[in-house]
Amino acid sequence: MRTVSVREMGACRGLGRVWGGWRRGPGVRAAPEAAGFGTEAGHQLRRRGSSKRSGPLGDQAFPGLLQLENLSREGLVDVLRAAVVDQKGPLVTLNKPPGLPVTGKPGELTLFSVLPELSQSLGLRDRELQVVQASGKETSGLVLLSSCPQTASHLQKFFIHSRRAQRPTATYCAVTDGVPASPEGHIQVALKLEHTDGVDLVIPVKSPSRKDFQEGVKRTLSHFHVVARGSGCALVQLQPLTVFPSQLQVHMVLQLCPVLGDHTYSACVGTVLGQRFLLPAKSTKPQRQVLDEALLRRLHLTPAQAAQLPLHLHLHCLHLPGMRPREAPMKLLAPLPPYFSRTLQCLGLHQQ
């Protein structure tokens, strides 16, 4: 969050216009079974060594954070094997650390690029894994893989039909800088992706026209539920009902509560005399998230460490249909990363 002067605020009378066009609807309560955040699983991402740069998963301020620059292909396969939380039939579930892209350019180290080696490592032989559902690069949490093309196709159709029926299948948990004004509800806004100064940014669109939709503007919708609050922050459940890049981050900015570790969109929230407001999205450049001194003390972080704070957005739960007739639906869970749990402890945020 950025603090601006009163003079700057006077120059931004229309500051909410570009970020407008969103509505807070009536509350939609999260399903009770989605409220639990799980427990530590046996397959935890391991820290390697005790130095500050101890290996691909080592940083004392943020334990469990992936360091891709230290990894070989073989090392990434080892990390992903350690991240397996479930393997049943053709389905393999991983708890992905943040910082790992699912896809990328040719030659880049990504999840997709090592799927052949991972398949062999898990004993699948000639049945190569493919991605069914995954969290984004900076997001931690569940990745669903399948070694059966028919199963993958069945699940992908299930996710598409669920979105059309506005049935949530994924539950994220997030720590936000700020507490939403309403304890629960939904956020609805039209979004577009713009390429500005070499960076792809998601911009809200107020009152989009038919031409806007033809040019890539999409209506987006998310449900949110505040699980706990404290120290000026909140633990929030988020259930996206549409799919758009950075949708959840932008939606929380619209609530004036950017996700902790959001170094892209948090700059669009300004404050004057303790009051938060939205800055124009098109003219606000991404910058490292700025946290106030009281929050830094609670997190036991220096400003330099806070500038490296990972995004506290975790794909915690996926609901899947039964794979056979009359088979009960499944629920997959991914434990929180160590740095996420540390933040909850520092802020006194606990599941109620």
Closest by CA to 83, choosing from 44, 113, 57, 122, is 44
67-165 with 175-351: one CATH topology? yes
At 1, is the pLDDT very low, low, confident or very high (cuts 50, 70, 90)? low
Q: What are phi and psi of 44, to 5 degrees?
A: -100, 145
Partnered with residue 186 across adjacent β-strands are 223
CA 254 to chain centre: 16
**Band (46; pLDDT cuts 50, 70, 90):** very low
For the cut 90, the answer to whether the pLDDT of residue 351 exceeds it is no
Please tell me the predicted confidence (pLDDT) of residue 45: 38
Domain ranges of the chain: 67-165, 175-351
The pTM score is 0.82
The per-residue pLDDT for range 137-173, each reduced to its tens digit, is 999 999 999 999 999 999 999 999 999 999 999 999 9
pLDDT higher than 50, residue 34: no
In the predicted model, what is the mean pLDDT of the chain?
A: 83
Give the single-character DSSP code of 314.
E
Give the residue from 80, 52, 57, 85 showing the smallest Cα distance to 70. Answer: 57
CB 85 within 8 A of CB 93: yes
The mean pLDDT value for 2-21 works out to 38
Q: How far is CA 251 from the centre of its chain?
A: 12
- According to the model, what pLDDT value does residue 282 have? 81
Strand segments, DSSP code E, in 231-339 are 233-240, 269-272, 275-278, 313-320, 330-333
Rama region for 344: left / alpha / beta (φ>0; ψ in -120 to 50; rest): alpha
21, pLDDT greater than 50: no
CA dihedral sign, ordered 98, 99, 100, 102: positive
- C-beta atoms surrounding 212 within 10 Å: 14
Q: Which CATH architecture has domain 67-165?
A: 2-Layer Sandwich (3.30)
Report the pLDDT value the prediction gives residue 60, as an integer from 0 to 100: 62
Least confident range from 79-88, 197-206, 320-329, 340-349: namely: 320-329
pLDDT of residue 153: 94
Query: pLDDT tens digit string along 311-330?
Result: 999 999 999 998 777 788 88
CATH 3.30.2350, applies to 175-351: yes
